[in-house]
Amino acid sequence: MDSNLWLPLIGIPIIVAGFALRFNPLLVVIAAGMATGLAVGMDLGLLLETFGEKFMNSRQLASILLILPVIAILERYGLKERAQSWVSGIRSATAGRILMLYFVLRQFTCSLGLISLGGQAQTVRPLLFPMAEGAALSKYGELPENLRQKIAAHAAACDNVALFFGEDIFIAFGAVLLMTGFLKENGITDVEPLMIGLWAIPTAVCALVIHLVRLSWLDAQIARDVQTWQRQHTGVRA
């Protein structure tokens, strides 16, 4: 087999190795893209021009230039503390319940095409995670670091899973149109975007039920982990 056929895949091991070694994700992706472009014979100038063109045409440019600095300023002036303080005043609030509510709302809005209403940078980090953490702090007091990371991971997963399975219901979503176009190019002409969106509903419902069950266990896990940590902490002090 011609070895040149494998050259376009050189970026895959670079990404795997970079993530495994926990290098900066942005640098890893850029390095993988550069290596792939050079491996297939692209001129360095053309490669840099392509990177710049894709960056300028990206819909995420506004997020990079506007949303992230705004979020950073809000965090600097106490957005996280405000969110935690507000949640601590709600007695029935728990980390699991807050994440469950966000998951339902996020998946529903994504199914309507309102994808930009949430996100890791603009919602999960500055609001959702502090609120879930604040609920746990209000109930248990001090939390161990590994438990804080677990809550943060669940908060991030809520957004990812709800987005992934909710957006496929929206028939104008790019992936739905891509699948429809691909099928028609290969002779399958009786599949319409509406049909794909309707068949995405059962999958989204399954994802909703499964993730809500996982989140319903989260509060019990938090209680168990806090008790274990407190016993170990007390034993160390003694």
The H or E element spanning position 189 is: none
CA torsion angle 20 33 58 203 (round to 10): -50
Residue 238 has pLDDT above 70, yes or no: no
Per-residue model confidence as pLDDT tens digits over 159-174 = 999 999 998 888 777 7
Per-residue model confidence as pLDDT tens digits over 194-208 = 888 888 899 999 999
**Percent of the chain residues topping a pLDDT of 90:** 21
Residues in the chain: 238
The H or E element spanning position 92 is: none
Per-residue model confidence as pLDDT tens digits over 61-78 = 555 556 666 666 766 767
Helix 193-237 crosses helix 129-140 at what angle (to 10 degrees)? 30
Instruction: Say what the pLDDT of residue 24 is.
Output: 76
Per-residue model confidence as pLDDT tens digits over 205-226 = 999 999 999 999 998 999 898 8
Domain edges within the chain: 3-57, 91-237
